[in-house]
Homo-oligomer: A and B are copies of this chain.
Amino acid sequence: MELLERKIMEEGRVLSTSVLKVDAFINHQIDPVLMDNIGLEFAERFSGSGITKILTLESSGIAPAQMTGLHLQVPVVFARKRKSLTLNDQLYTSEVYSFTKEQSNEIAVSHEFIEAGDHVLILDDFLANGQAALGLLHIVEQAGASLEGIGILIEKAFQEGGNLLKNKGVRVESLARVASLNSGRVQFAEKVGAQ
Cβ-closest chain B residue relative to A80:
B28
The majority secondary structure among interface residues of chain A is mixed
A32 and B76 contact, CB distance less than 8 A: yes
Q: A167 at the A/B interface (Cβ < 8 Å)?
A: no
Contacts of A30 in B (CB 8 A): 62, 65-66, 69, 75-78
Contacts of A101 in B (CB 8 A): 86
Cβ-closest chain B residue relative to A77:
B29
Q: Say whether, besides A29-B75, A30-B76, A78-B30, A66 and B67 are in contact (CB < 8 Å).
A: yes
Q: A15-B87, A29-B112, A32-B66 are in contact. List 18 more A-B contacts (CB 8 A).
A: A23-B89, A23-B110, A28-B77, A29-B76, A30-B65, A30-B66, A30-B69, A30-B78, A32-B73, A32-B75, A35-B66, A59-B62, A59-B78, A59-B84, A62-B62, A62-B63, A63-B66, A66-B66
Closest 8 CB pairs of A and B: A32-B69, A58-B59, A32-B70, A30-B76, A62-B62, A63-B66, A59-B59, A29-B113
